[in-house]
Amino acid sequence: MVAPGDDEDRGVRAGARRLLRELLEVSVRNEPQPGSDRDAEVLHDFRVAHRRARVLLKEYGKALGKPSRRLADAMRRLGRRTGPVRDFDVLAQRLGAADPARPGSGPNLLLEEIAGRRDAADTALIRYLESPRYAGLVATWESLCSDPIEAADDGRTDAFARWTLDRISVRFGRLAAASGAFDARTDDDAIHATRIQAKRLRYLLEFLVSHRPDSRERVRPIVERLKRLQDRLGAYQDLRAHAELLRVVADDPAAPLAARVEAVRRAAALDARRLRTRRGVGLALARFTGSAMQRRMRVLARTGG
């Protein structure tokens, strides 16, 4: 791995801070406001901005310094509050689309239970966004973006591009290793870890294009294929997460009995569907990390982005 010195640090910081500033603007623009009738995509865009920022802080943290670690930790805590709201939103859409509910039926009572839990999670999220802790997160983010930014160099001496290409190589290598190790014994946690690696790789590729627009045509086919892999991994993870949420309802004695019974049935159906998709996940991972993509990655590294 490239270990940047003072000059390298300045170039990496300049690129990373510019991207952090852009993501801060997206976050502020999409910050959820009180009210359950808001557009669910607002929360989605808010979450994506924070996920991208967390990857940026992790991948360029050495150049950004200690404040980046504090900010990443704060974003991780925030993610534990935004995640349940989004999961309940998507689960409700899945359940409603699968079986239109009749008043008083098990499916209807389950949807009501999910809606209640979603509203409780949303209330907790809004309370956190109005707290001093969230204000501190935003203040740290603004401080990282507002510090004097050195001018980045360009061309073959572009430190940010070289650092990004190095991180792209690392993330692709980990995906290739996961593909080589994937078999019937690969557990859900390993598949989730692979999904995280794919997400980090995609964001790094997008960071590179944002910094070096001339790399767009070389990066575009990689991202298109990566999106297909992410769709497989994301669908698998959603099935797992939704089944777990349903089991929480099923195990809650305070929930209506008909809702608990329905939750058991739906969780079992999602588990069966998830197991049927495992082979597709392995095939998608093997296709993405195959020889054709390895050649594309070598060309990207050779051309400097």
Assign 3-class secondary structure to the chain. Answer: CCCCCHHHHHHHHHHHHHHHHHHHHHHHHCCCCCCCCCCHHHHHHHHHHHHHHHHHHHHCHHHHCHHHHHHHHHHHHHHHHHHHHHHHHHHHHHHHHHCCCCCCCHHHHHHHHHHHHHHHHHHHHHHHHCCHHHHHHHHHHHHHHHCCCCCCCCHHHCHHHHHHHHHHHHHHHHHHHHHHHCCCCCCHHHHHHHHHHHHHHHHHHHHHHHHCHHHHHHHHHHHHHHHHHHHHHHHHHHHHHHHHHHHHHHCCCCCCHHHHHHHHHHHHHHHHHHHHHHHHHHHHHHHHCCHHHHHHHHHHHHCCC
What average pLDDT does range 178-188 have in this prediction? 94
pLDDT of the residue at 66: 85
pTM, to two decimals: 0.89
CATH among 1.40.20.10, 1.10.600.10, 3.40.50.1100, 2.60.40.1730 for 155-302? 1.40.20.10
Taking Cα atoms as reference points, which of 202, 172, 167, 194 lies closest to residue 59? 167
pLDDT of the residue at 141: 95
Tens digit of each residue's pLDDT (9 = 90 or more) over 73-125: 999 999 999 999 999 999 999 988 656 556 667 888 999 999 999 999 999 99
Domains of the chain: which residue ranges? 6-146, 155-302
Quote the CA–CA distance of 274 and 96 in Å, as a whole number.
19
Q: Tell me the percentage of the chain whose pLDDT exceeds 90.
A: 77
- Mean pLDDT, the chain, rounded, equals 89
